[in-house]
Structure 1
Amino acid sequence: MSPSNSLHYPTDAAGKPEALVLPIADWLELKDYYRQLQGRELVLRGMREALREVPEILAGRQPEITLTDFLAAS
């Protein structure tokens, strides 16, 4: 990202910052980073859900899903 001096903070009449203006390259970098975080969150959420299902499967309250079936459903 660019140095912090490339950021601009428009202010209201009292001098309170109202917005942040940053170079488009920085914005695109932040968007890309956010997309990566979203992807990681989806993977982690799926893993958490899968781990919660294990006791149910072991207790026989939920059917097992084979890797072949899992991959076929994807």
Structure 2
Amino acid sequence: MSTTNSLHYLTDAADKPEAVLLPMADWLELKQYYRQLQGREFVLDGTLGALREVPEMLAGRQPEISLDGFLASL
């Protein structure tokens, strides 16, 4: 990513920062990084949900799912 010198700040009449302009290359890099974070969040949320189901399965309150059943549901 570019250095902070490539950032431009827009301010209001009271000189309070309102927005930032950055080079397109930096924006595209940030956008790609954000998508990667969203993908990681999706995987972690799914893993957390699965871990929360384990005690319910062990207690017999929720049916267990075999690997074949899981893969068939995808």
Q: Report if TM-score (shorter chain) is over 0.5.
A: yes
**Residue 17 (structure 2) pairs with residue 23 (structure 1):** no
Superposed CA RMSD: 0.6
Give 5+ residue unaligned stretches, structure 1.
none
For residue 16 of structure 2, what is the amino acid of its counterpart? K
> Aligned residue pairs: how many?
74
**Gap runs ≥5 in structure 2:** none
Identity %: 74
Structure 1 consecutive aligned stretches of length 4 or more whose deviation exceeds 2 Å:
none
TM-score by length of 2: 0.96
Please show how residues 1-74 of structure 1 align to structure 2 within 5 Å: 1-74=1-74
